[in-house]
Amino acid sequence: MTFTIDPPIGRPIISAVTGTNGKTSVATATRQVMNLIGWRAAGYDSTGITDVEGVAHKSNVRRSPDYLPDLIRTQVAAGAQAISLEAFVGILADGLFEHVEVDTAVSTGLERDHIDVHRSVEGYWNAKLRLFAEYLRPDGVAIIATNSAQGDLVRDAVARRGIRLVTVGEGGDIHLDDAVENEGRMHGDLRVGAAAYRVSLPTVHTVAVTNLLLASAAVIGAGGDPGAVADALARVEPPPGRLQVIAQADGVTAMVDTAHNPGALRTALRAARARTERRVILVFGAGGERDRGKRAQMGAIAAELADVVILTDDNPRREPPERIRAEIRVAVPDCVEIPARKDAILAAVHIARAGDLVLVAGKGDESDQIVGTQRLPHDDREILRQAMS
């Protein structure tokens, strides 16, 4: 099977990433790999817009069909040859990709999220699938992991259009062979069809490895040289707030993650568990005015995978925070409940002992907390740094 296509002439290479969890990690990795192999690349994802010079800018999504084409034109005028886009469910549902020619499309998997907006999990999935069913070019490449949640939905969408599908991971078209962990990195052979390229990945987390392989497939599928891509993977840096180690002191490790749905919380806790043989202390909550059905699910996951659970407020918005916590606590009755998020984080650090890991989940790199209609200054990372110093 041939994995590469000729890069487009006269327009930028466009890669788009959708799914429930891991979108930003794959999108930012894709942009970095594009740059590292010599393409001038820009990116748009939940961290904002990164221009061709690598400068980050905040972004405010306008629900306008001109938003993405204007963004692309601006970056191309500045010299961009390739652009990595995070395909948020809102902009897919609103048809903002209608005038974007997508060359490679990645799904990180479809799980439960945003039911408050899309009425049902099927409605949410269908909005995501528009990337493959409508916006991916007929001569483009669709990419999924072999163990992708709801991967069959993507398979069906591209099969109906006769679009090529590349699978990533164990048993897939692109996968990692002879993998060995050493000093926080994963070493092995990147298999691309029959060819093999030595790689050293800057992570040992299973999900993070898969995300890097998805990014590599997105670039290779758009015409990138596999050998150059394999070399580039060693220098990819994760986006802020995603399984990010904030501080280490007295044998305690403190991390943050954006996990705010069941699948993401499960992934974050498993990654945390793999980093320590002692206790995982979890601080988390759930957002207000959002899908209430996932709250008990997240509580059950916390009860199963964390040793100590401190339940706190996330972004309560205009919903009574005590009701949010009560709906989580049904599934994790033995938790400690500390409503004020800063106090909850401080308590977690206070009880931590050498070898323990503190994971603060839900907000990641956010720098505020939405209470009522106000955005109040709050940064989990800064609180952890101060508490651990």
Tell me the per-residue pLDDT of 350-368, one tens digit each, with 9 for 90 and over: 999 999 999 999 999 999 9
**Separation between Cα atoms, residue 339 and residue 93, nearest integer Å:** 35
> Could you read off the pLDDT of 184-216 as tens digits, one per residue?
899 999 999 999 999 999 998 888 999 999 999
Confidence at residue 89, expressed as pLDDT on a 0 to 100 scale: 86
Q: Residues near 43 by Cβ (< 8 Å), separated by ≥ 6?
A: 27, 28, 30, 31, 49, 50, 83, 84, 85
Maximum Cα–Cα distance across the chain: 60
Confidence at residue 125, expressed as pLDDT on a 0 to 100 scale: 83
Q: What is each CA distance from 237 to 31, 37, 123, 134, 179, in whole angstroms?
A: 11, 15, 33, 31, 20
- What are the extents of the domains in the chain? 13-233, 244-388
- One-character DSSP codes across 305-337: H-SEEEE--S--BTS-HHHHHHHHHTT-TT-EE
Confidence at residue 58, expressed as pLDDT on a 0 to 100 scale: 84
Provide CATH code, domain 13-233. Answer: 3.40.1190.10
Residue with tokens 């990116």: 43
Counting as low any pLDDT under 70, the low residues of the chain are: 1-10, 60-63, 112-119
pTM over 0.75: yes
Confidence at residue 59, expressed as pLDDT on a 0 to 100 scale: 81
Nearest residue to 25 via CA among 243, 184, 219: 243
Task: Indicate the fold that domain 244-388 takes in CATH.
Answer: Protein-Tyrosine Phosphatase; Chain A (3.90.190)
Token pair, residue 117, equals 């907006």
**Separation between Cα atoms, residue 34 and residue 41, nearest integer Å:** 6
